[in-house]
Amino acid sequence: MLYMGRDDITGNMDFEGMMDSIERAYKIYESESFDMPDRIHISHGEDTLLYMPCFSNSVFGTKVIGVFPGNSSKGKPSVDGIMILNSSKDGSILSIMDGAAITAVRTGAVGGCAVRRLAGEGVKSLGVIGTGTQAFYQALFACHAAEIEEVSIFGRSADKANELCKRLRAQLGDVHIVQCKSAEELLKKSDIVITATSAQKTVLPDNPDILEGKLFVAIGSYKPDMRELPDALFPLLSNVYIDTDFASEESGDIKVPLEKGIIYAEKIERFSNLVAEEKYVIQDGTRLFKSVGMALFDIVVAKEIYERATAQGRGTNLK
């Protein structure tokens, strides 16, 4: 049994390989060759416990994650947990992994896949709303999915936004990193906008003039009472893609606009359809990709990380 901590998982990252793993997961999703129950949410005030098992032909696994939004004000991670990866042949435990690191990497790769397939040609600028771990990995993966020249960052805390900018400069070399004073400033500078927050109220201005013509990748809202996206965005959308069927029920960013009638179910498409048919969206227009995540992503990415670690001698063997 191999134990893998955060550094084992995030060190020497193969960004393209992780995005390829997510695309394999999408193809498995389309083929329905897996068993995955609905994700179990247990809420306790503002805090949430997520229980996410999944079984595929080669491996199965379970991720247990606690989401504590208030931790950010205490200088602690808002997400923590554990991932257990098992062999489908005999049920033996292959690896115990840092669940928060798996979540960060696979969600970053999910966002990167959306940029890879939906950004189109000629995009050079990326904006990220949020300052936490997920904002960091979303920016990294997006910059490996497209030829980004400038990344703009905005968050409620200017100090945290500044720290994120420093981390990204250390990782992204020649990419120009800018800290914005407002979401409006960020929108005006960005071809792609990623939202990676735990907000319950929208984090973008309700102004169609500065929303039009961009790709939006919304990561944060995973419960019906959470929203990152404003109403003004939805009438502009030429395409809406979701990573799972249940995103329309789980996320307030899709559920509420459907209930309000500012978007229609006929316009929503599974992103896995694009991947399975090897399609890329090249046309102009305002596009949205909404992710809530699923356990299938976790086990496919965990398997990839486990196999690379075994080949490279990373991690700690436990008896």
**219: domain CATH number?**
3.40.50.720
pTM of the model as a whole: 0.94
Domain shared by 126 and 146, yes or no: yes
Domain shared by 119 and 226, yes or no: yes
The pLDDT value recorded for residue 224 is: 87
Confidence of residue 121 (pLDDT cuts 50, 70, 90): confident
**How high does pLDDT run on average in the chain?**
93
Domain shared by 150 and 58, yes or no: no
C-beta separation of 39 from 294 below 8 A = yes
Domain shared by 59 and 154, yes or no: no
SS3 104: helix
Domain shared by 67 and 124, yes or no: no
Domain shared by 58 and 186, yes or no: no
The pLDDT value recorded for residue 177 is: 98
Which stretches within the chain are classed as H helix? 6-10, 15-31, 99-118, 133-145, 158-172, 183-189, 247-250, 252-260, 271-276, 295-312
Q: What range defines the domain where residue 42 resides?
A: 2-103+296-317
Domain shared by 214 and 288, yes or no: yes
The pLDDT value recorded for residue 239 is: 84
Domain shared by 136 and 75, yes or no: no
Domain shared by 287 and 302, yes or no: no
Domain shared by 116 and 210, yes or no: yes
Domain shared by 277 and 303, yes or no: no
- Which helix (H) or strand (E) covers residue 98, if one does? strand 93-98
Confidence of residue 282 (pLDDT cuts 50, 70, 90): low
Q: In the chain, how many domains are there?
A: 2
Confidence of residue 283 (pLDDT cuts 50, 70, 90): low
> What are the respective helix, strand and coil percentages of the chain, to the nearest 5?
40, 25, 35
Domain shared by 310 and 266, yes or no: no
The pLDDT value recorded for residue 314 is: 92
Read off the pLDDT of residues 43-77 as tens digits, 9 standing for 90 and up: 898 899 999 999 999 899 999 999 898 887 787 88
- Burial letters for 180-201: b for 16+ Cβ neighbours within 10 Å, e otherwise? beebebbbebbbbbbbbbbbbe
State yes or no: pLDDT of 281 exceeds 80: no
CATH number at residue 307: 3.30.1780.10
